[in-house]
Structure 1
């Protein structure tokens, strides 16, 4: 696997929003887990403390059996008959967490949860079934569970992903936009060749609006189509200045002016390229991904990030172009200059252990030293600070 860029393999699955603490985590960490029915609450006063009273309906953990009434400290508003998840640590005087409104379906979902110690594939199979559950708490929790596992564990169950349902969810305008990136990635993992058209329909619909989740849809396209999809992204998002229409000519606004490719779309395409570098395996050759990322050096707003990526990817073939940006208008700002110097310093350091000093040094090392010397003659303090920062880390 290539060097990690956005996230390492050990971290959470990309395009998922990890909630931090899921219901299964809460179940595992609590000594008392109850489905309670709100009965009444009193704000209290000078002579009596505030309290809330609940009826235990069901119990997963702890000594409180169904039918028992609990009087807990503190005022919690509610409605008669409303059901809530009540959890607490153990001990003689339990510390109760804030109650969470939960339905009977939600409590059943929690009860049947495989638990954090179950095999990852068993857990993910369970959560797959609940991704679009009508109960928002259940659906959100199931989605959050995917945000807490590495990408490799999701990829391991790709043959069990609901391909046809994913296609429907992606095209459904009612689907939560925050889920589109994740669903696009999943369809890329499990899809058939024809499913690429579903992703294309969303990606290349020709809009200048900001779109949540488009980076995951693009990543799904690259997972499914490899270099073919990469070229499509290059032609539609990374290379052109204006949004291309069906006939290849730029789309125009009401005044007949060509519509620029939105910065957000360019950045999303960059994210998809970065995703493939980290998670795509050998679907797209490393050199093609470098070529695609180099296109974004044309955007001064992205230069700092792109140069840092190309440095981590050891793309020394881009050195002449990157060094040439140092004094170019729009790029001659401190952040970009630091990125260029850091890139050159990394190239200078990238010497094979068996390489000799002097004429036998790799060409990229010789070139990096030349460019650094030229920059140092103009900005010695900036180069010194960059060297100090780099070598203080190693």
Structure 2
């Protein structure tokens, strides 16, 4: 494979759930979850986007590689065109293209290349080549390019069926298409697609030991959106099988379970968060699930129940700072006294937790009313006497973070 970046280019319950989520995400214009599908770890420039950006793309056989300068490795190679993936007038009546590159194939007659081209001032610029031994990737790119003007929910119908294709180049790219898709478009796709087909595929993949561990969370989340209550059994089985290396997708599995069976999902989350002996990565994954459910509460999930679970992290010294910061963002000042009481505890006497407590106190003093606001002001006054520089530094960092979080175009 060769690649060169181009200058100046940037790389019956079902309907209720889907409609609810569609209505919900439509109100989340300020939420990060609107811009990228949650629980999908792959993002970046997709092959279909590269095809769109290229002047034309062809597939064929490389022959006659000629080395013209041994010192710098320059030369030429002929490309016999077999398939045109993205057409262009430059290709009219052409069967062979001469590439301004020396690309020896080592006598592998069964290897073909998909080559991406730019044309600048009439000169060919092949900027990427992908070796292939069959036409699976060619057909995938042709189908994707045929849908270039379609809306993303319609395009996802194609990419879904390629998520577990045996060619890693293809399935990774299809996965990346979902990773670049907004939550709103995913819900629209769920509404318009054959949900029984999607559900059967998802349960099959989630039961398979061959499925990459990184995808369990995403598949579980999709199953939560389109599955039946009985599908929760598949997710319960995943939670029990520690050997499946589930940590990277645990947040999605917990969220999917909560969508299918809210009470059981919340119990699973609470069980993890309340156990301070549980591995940190699992508790953090459960917290990520809570964050998503807090921002996008589905039917049967009350935020108060989520709060009960999150506050169990406050006394866990290795993760308390994360819980405190979430409570600050959620403006839950009723926990102020408990949080301020942690400041002097030996288990929490570390800079990262004390900074989180100070951030909470500063926001609480500014926004809370009555006794809670006064409590925060008193707490800050005591901290300023002890270490005014630390409080000042936290105040400045908090102001900076708040500026960064403002929507684009908002005043300073």
TM-score, normalisation: structure 1? 0.84
- Name the structure 1 match of 2:344: 327
CA distance in 1, matches of 2:246, 2:383: 39
Equivalent residues of 1:57, 1:67 under 8 A apart? no
Equivalent residues of 2:254, 2:268 under 8 A apart? no
Give the 5 Å matches for 1:214-233.
214-233=250-269
- Name the structure 1 match of 2:48: 24
Q: How far is 1:187 from its partner?
A: 0.7
Runs of 5+ unmatched residues, structure 2? 1-23, 404-411
Equivalent residues of 2:213, 2:245 under 8 A apart? no
- Name the structure 2 match of 1:61: 87
- Name the structure 2 match of 1:369: 377
CA distance in 2, matches of 1:328, 1:335: 14
Runs of 5+ unmatched residues, structure 1? 242-259, 352-360
Equivalent residues of 1:7, 1:14 under 8 A apart? no
CA distance in 2, matches of 1:131, 1:225: 26
1:106 matched to 2:115? The reply is no
1:182-222 deviation per Cα after TM superposition (whole angstroms, max 9, x unaligned): 10111111111111111011113356967332221112112
CA distance in 1, matches of 2:119, 2:296: 42
1:8 matched to 2:32? The reply is yes
- Name the structure 2 match of 1:344: 361
Give the 5 Å matches for 1:264-275.
264-275=281-292
Structure 1 residues 326 and 215: alpha-carbon distance in aligned structure 2, compared to 1, 3 A threshold: same
Structure 1 residues 139 and 7: alpha-carbon distance in aligned structure 2, compared to 1, 3 A threshold: farther
Deviating more after overlay: 264-273 vs 113-122: 113-122
Secondary structure of the residue that 2:124 maps to in structure 1? Answer: coil
Q: 1:86 aligns with which of 91, 110, 115?
A: 115
Q: 1:75 aligns with which of 91, 96, 102?
A: 102
Secondary structure of the residue that 1:154 maps to in structure 2? Answer: helix
TM-score, normalisation: structure 2? 0.81
1:315 matched to 2:332? The reply is yes
1:336-358 deviation per Cα after TM superposition (whole angstroms, max 9, x unaligned): 1111111111112225xxxxxxx
Structure 1 residues 51 and 17: alpha-carbon distance in aligned structure 2, compared to 1, 3 A threshold: farther
Q: How far is 1:239 from its partner?
A: 1.2
Equivalent residues of 2:213, 2:244 under 8 A apart? no
CA distance in 2, matches of 1:121, 1:210: 28
Q: How far is 1:304 from its partner?
A: 2.1
Deviating more after overlay: 55-64 vs 362-371: 362-371
Secondary structure of the residue that 1:298 maps to in structure 2? Answer: coil
Structure 1 residues 210 and 135: alpha-carbon distance in aligned structure 2, compared to 1, 3 A threshold: closer
Equivalent residues of 2:117, 2:126 under 8 A apart? yes
Q: How far is 1:280 from its partner?
A: 3.6
CA distance in 2, matches of 1:185, 1:145: 16
Give the CA RMSD over aligned residues.
2.6
- Name the structure 2 match of 1:248: none
Structure 1 residues 134 and 208: alpha-carbon distance in aligned structure 2, compared to 1, 3 A threshold: closer
Equivalent residues of 1:307, 1:322 under 8 A apart? yes
Equivalent residues of 2:324, 2:356 under 8 A apart? yes
Deviating more after overlay: 285-294 vs 42-51: 42-51
Q: 2:76 aligns with which of 23, 46, 51?
A: 51
Secondary structure of the residue that 1:98 maps to in structure 2? Answer: strand
Structure 1 residues 340 and 265: alpha-carbon distance in aligned structure 2, compared to 1, 3 A threshold: same
Structure 1 residues 8 and 116: alpha-carbon distance in aligned structure 2, compared to 1, 3 A threshold: farther
Deviating more after overlay: 176-185 vs 44-53: 44-53
Q: How far is 1:67 from its partner?
A: 6.7
- Name the structure 2 match of 1:187: 223
Q: How far is 1:283 from its partner?
A: 4.4
- Name the structure 1 match of 2:395: 387
Secondary structure of the residue that 1:58 maps to in structure 2? Answer: strand
Structure 1 residues 49 and 209: alpha-carbon distance in aligned structure 2, compared to 1, 3 A threshold: closer
